[in-house]
Amino acid sequence: MKRLVLLAPLMILLSVLPSPLAFAQAGPGQMTGRLLNKSREGGNVAGIPVKLNSYSKTTLQGSLDDKTDGEGKFTFSGLVTEKTYSYQVTLTYQGADYYSDVVWFEEGQSSKSLEIAVYNPTGSDETIKVAASHTIIYVSKEGLLVKEFYLFRNEGDKAFVGKEIGGKKETLRFSVPPGATGLQLGQGLSEGRIAKTDYGFVSNATVVPGDTLVGYSYTLRGSGDYRLARSIAYPVDNVNVLIEDKGVVASSPQLGLQDPIVMKEGRFLLLAGKDFARAAAHEISLRVNPEAGQSSTPGALPVAAAGVAAILSVGAIYLLVRRKEPRLAAGPAAPVETPASERERLLEEVARLDDEFEAGALSEEDYRRVRAQKKAELLRLTGRSLSLESLNQVQGQGQGGPDGVGGSD
């Protein structure tokens, strides 16, 4: 009896606290939506649980739940329509996770509608290829900072959900060079979606039809000569490698040395190639001036010259990395980003994007598209962080291998 008496005040307190699964306040807004199965054979979209997450700026306010009717339709009512509020629908369909675009109500608007494409799943990666592999290598006295971006393209009509290997689901595979440190997850990757392997890491994120941009970075400490040997597990249309031109001599048997280019960050050497078969290898040899001094390569082209066409053909990749990269710092390697540090990085990227738009460096169309991608990633991260607090940091580094993306000897 005494125990019940002691628990009573706590139970009363909990009963009056707002539930994290309910919106803190109601409004006049209503959102209707519909799931559409866009696989050729179609599929049932009735009775699918859907969740609507509500955000004030970037803070999760709560969520509402519904189920689709016989036609795949759902409705959420009582939504706040203030400009600071935004919404995102999430759901799981046949084992694959889906996220809607981030939407909000315009001034005077009280209703929104959206359609969410879903697909039948497949465990085969036959329709997966890399439309563009884009690597940027920054040089300093401490070593190399390597940023890798992959534009994956699912050319089929089904969502690639991977296979169960060793009790874990795997979709896309990535490798990190031996000796690499400070793995940082970027666009399209998150701690809750990757697992360490002996050659690097794998992602278990669903790959829907269309394009998916993925990026990560790491550091290679040392000086002098470097040899990066890579075998990408998927067919690759275009490979571009930019090397900061600080007295560097670069060569590759499989990639051609193009004219150097000049960007906002400085001058870069360019190695490029195309049409690589699945698991085809290519290697890059770098001889770095120990002083990591100023560029000594003459004849650089302006950024708008024809030599840059191979890079700018994948404009989304260029826009997402078009900012000054940090120098390598001495000392121990940085850990994989925590949800808090990843959130800070995204906020900084949005701020830089705003600055470049105000300075006239980006068109309004590109600015709005990339900013919406960053905001969606930020909002998704905010929701995920609630369930990631107890997870250990993931260090995705190890031996490179033929089944991963990237790697070195």
| pLDDT tens readout for residues 316-338 | 444 444 433 333 333 333 333 44
Percent of the chain at pLDDT exceeding 90: 36
Confidence bin at 288 (pLDDT 50/70/90) = confident
What pLDDT is stored for residue 295 in this prediction? Answer: 40
Over residues 376-399, the pLDDT tens digits come to 666 655 444 333 332 222 222 222
Q: Lowest-confidence range among 6-10, 25-29, 242-246, 350-354?
A: 6-10
Could you tell me the sign of the dihedral formed by the alpha carbons of 37, 41, 44, 49, in that order?
Answer: negative
Mean predicted confidence (pLDDT) in 89-114: 92
Query: Cβ-count burial of 353 within 10 angstroms (0-12 exposed, 13-18 middle, 19+ buried)?
Result: buried
Q: pLDDT at position 80, please?
A: 93
Buried b or exposed e, range 189-227, using 16+ CB within 10 angstroms: bbbebbebbebbbbbbbbbbbeebbbbbbbbbeeeeebe
> What's the pLDDT score for residue 361?
61
- The highest-confidence range among 142-151, 312-321, 358-367, by mean pLDDT, is 142-151
Query: Can you name the residues that pair with 147 across neighbouring β-strands?
Result: 136, 217
Kindly report, residue by residue over 176-222, the tens digit of the pLDDT: 888 888 888 888 888 788 888 878 888 988 999 999 889 999 999 88
Average pLDDT for the chain: 75
At residue 300, does pLDDT exceed 80?
Answer: no
Q: Give φ, ψ of 201 to 5 degrees.
A: -160, 160
Residue 98: the pLDDT is 92
Report strand pairing: 29-37 vs 111-118.
Answer: parallel
Mean pLDDT of 138-151: 89
pLDDT band at 369 (very low <50, low <70, confident <90, very high): low
Q: pLDDT for 147-182, tens place per residue? A: 999 999 999 999 999 987 777 788 998 888 888 888
Return the DSSP state at 20. Answer: T
Nearest to 84 by CA among 57, 115, 52, 110: 57
Superfamily of domain 22-118: Immunoglobulins (2.60.40.10)
Lowest-pLDDT range, 51-65, 111-125, 321-335, 347-361?
321-335
Q: Which residue has the higher pLDDT, 56 or 168?
A: 56
CATH of 128-316, one of 3.40.50, 1.20.1070, 2.70.98, 2.60.40: 2.60.40
Average pLDDT of span 345-354: 70
Residue 122: pLDDT band (50, 70, 90) is very high
Q: Are 379 and 102 in contact (CB under 8 A)?
A: yes
What is the predicted pLDDT for the residue at 8? 45
pLDDT value at position 70? 95
Residues contacting 60, CB < 8 A, separation 6+? 53, 54, 382, 383, 386
pLDDT for position 1: 43
The predicted model gives 250-275 an average pLDDT of 89
Which token pair is 249? 């001599």
Q: Report phi then psi at 4, rounded to 5.
A: -65, -40
Task: Give every CB contact of residue 285 below 8 A, 6+ residues apart in sequence.
Answer: 225, 226, 227, 250, 251, 252
**What's the residue count for the chain?**
409
Share of the chain above pLDDT 70, in %: 66
Tell me: pLDDT of 301 over 60.
no
Alpha-carbon Rg for the chain, nearest whole angstrom, is 24
Q: What is the pLDDT of residues 17-50, one digit of tens each?
A: 333 345 555 789 999 999 999 999 999 999 999 9
The confidence score (pLDDT) of residue 364 equals 64
Question: Given a cut of 70, is residue 350 above it in pLDDT?
Answer: yes
Handedness of CA 196, 198, 200, 203 (dihedral sign): negative
Could you give the residue range(s) of every CATH 2.60.40.10 domain in the chain? 22-118
Nearest-angstrom CA–CA distance, 343 and 337: 9
